[in-house]
Amino acid sequence: MQRRTFLRSTAVAALAAVPLSTSLSGSASAADIPVASLAELQSAINAAVPGDRIVVADGTYTVPSGGAINVSGKHGTSDAQITIVAKTRGGVVLRGGNSFVFSNSSNITVSGFAFRQSTTMDIPANCSSIRLTRNDFQFADDGDADWLVVRASGTKVDRNHFHDKTTIGLFLILDGSGSTGIAQNLHVFKNHFSDHSFPGDNGGEPVRLGASNWALSDAKATVEYNLFERCDGDPEAISVKSSANTVRYNTVRDSVGGIVLRHGNRNRVEGNFLIGGKDGIRLYGNDHVVVNNYLSGLSGNAMVVGSGSTRDHHPGETKEERRGNDACDRVVIVHNSLLNNAGTLSGETRTYEPKDVVVADNLLVGDSGSLVSMGATTGFTWKTNMLWGAAGNGNIPSGGFTRADPRLAQGQDGVLRLTAGSPAIGAATSADPAVADDIDGDQRGSTRDIGADEYATTPALRHPLTPADVGPNAP
């Protein structure tokens, strides 16, 4: 029995043939400034005022060695951005060492370019409210390791495609200045990250939020509605190394990397699909919320509640101590579905065991090994989890679960959901008001179901993302 109909987006045309959307371009206006050379572009930027829209003619432009397209001392407003756009999306290719170099600027939007440069693009800390949207990032593989470094607060990175990297380095880094001054309020949404094939085992993350020195700093970043495909450069597709971030509604498919809270506290991981890759979600640090995630068909461990080489990170620790793993304490893990993975819910064996973790109302299904394989723990609360399949229960406490067939059926989007009569319906006991809906966007209400899916007969509002939902041509 299938309860939902999956509405796939229509395939989109080739990048170079699609004009910019009306949200950025619209009809020509008096503020439009057409340019057809790098010199004209630089002159237009130098003279730009709020509301100007600089339109670059299609073509391939090579920035001379040692040169740059400088955006310095330019300030739009929140209502009247200074916008620099390609005439057609993907129709302007920028080659050379640099492309845009920002300094002391704010409320600038850059849209529709194909970046083929060889050095890192940096959004420095003396900027704010910079937006990069509907661009194509494929830097030279023999250039700088990292492609986009964001040090400026209020940056938006949306509807871009980062792809085809074979060397060490990251697609996107949230960074900062000094020991605690990480950029805040980065918004990363509707991007497509694909085909990172660096063969090493570290240093090839698509997205990293912070670094060990900023573990205790509140970045308040939001990473949502992004698609990660074949991201194999690192075990961490989204690596969180700061605090107070939200990672939600992303899809990670056929990738070695998963979502890892490597450093930091008070992060929220919600409503993500991790399907058909290797690693799932791995947790270190304190006071996280992990809710409504769907992890299926992974060849590694679906969810790891990490132990630590230290109990807690603190301001006075050494650099080496800060690099260590912080034991996972006071984390809430509720309403997740871990289905048919090689490893389901597991722990580790470092010196400091995880403490005071709540594991409730999760659905664990598998046919081999053990569904729960925790190391040492202290003060865990296990309640109303549902287990099923030929896999053994493992070392979950007897009072923390029931064993019953959840009666799942696969929808047209490939997702296994509850069907009518499932014993998971109405059986959840956690009543956290912060869990308002399920992974599909259905409201939980006061009587809740076990797992990521709340049974409903109406079409789902959210599905695993496809390339048509993200990238330069996304809605």
Domain 144-380 architecture:
3 Solenoid (2.160)
Please state, in angstroms and rounded to a whole number, the distance separating the CA atoms of residues 82 and 75.
Answer: 7
Q: Following DSSP, what letter does each residue of 36-54 receive, concatenated?
A: -SHHHHHHHHHH--TT-EE
* Residues 79 and 104: beta-carbon distance below 8 Å: no
- In tens, the pLDDT along 400-424 reads 999 999 999 999 999 999 999 999 9
For the segment 105-113, the average pLDDT, to the nearest whole number, is 98
Please state, in angstroms and rounded to a whole number, the distance separating the CA atoms of residues 42 and 63.
Answer: 11
Residue 16 structure tokens: 């170079």
Q: How confident is the model at residue 29 (pLDDT cuts 50, 70, 90)?
A: low
State phi, psi for 400 to the nearest 5 degrees: -100, 10
CA 322 to chain centre: 23
Domain-wise residue ranges, the chain: 144-380
The single residue listed with the structure tokens 């893990």 is: 333
Q: Is the pTM of this model over 0.85?
A: yes
- In tens, the pLDDT along 236-285 reads 999 999 999 999 999 999 999 999 999 999 999 999 999 999 999 999 99
- In tens, the pLDDT along 144-189 reads 999 999 999 999 999 999 999 999 999 999 998 766 589 999 999 9
Please state, in angstroms and rounded to a whole number, the distance separating the CA atoms of residues 420 and 129.
Answer: 48
Residue 418 structure tokens: 């509850």
DSSP 3-state of 467: helix
